[in-house]
Structure 1
Amino acid sequence: MEKKVKNAAKKLKKQNESFWADFKKFITKGNVLDMAVAVVVASAFNAIVNGLVKYIITPLITYATSGVSINEWEWVVREEVLDAAGAVVTSKISVQYGLWLQAIVDFLIIAFSVFVVVRVIRNTERALNAKELAKKAEEEAAKKAEEEKKAAEAAAAAKAAAEAQKAREDAFLADVKAQAELLREIRDSLKKN
Structure 2
Amino acid sequence: MTGSGSPAAVRRWAVLLAVLVLVVDQLTKLWAESALEDRAPIPVLGELLQFRLLYNSGAAFSIGRGSTWIFTIFAAAAVLWVGWLVVRVRSRGWAVALGLLLGGAATHLGDRLFRAPGFANGHVVDFIDYNGWFVGNIADIALTAGAVLVVVLTLRGISLDGRGSTEQPEESAPPQ
Query: TM-score w.r.t. structure 2 length?
Result: 0.29
**Larger-gyration structure (1/2):** 1
Higher helix share: 1
Query: TM-score w.r.t. structure 1 length?
Result: 0.27
Higher strand share: 2
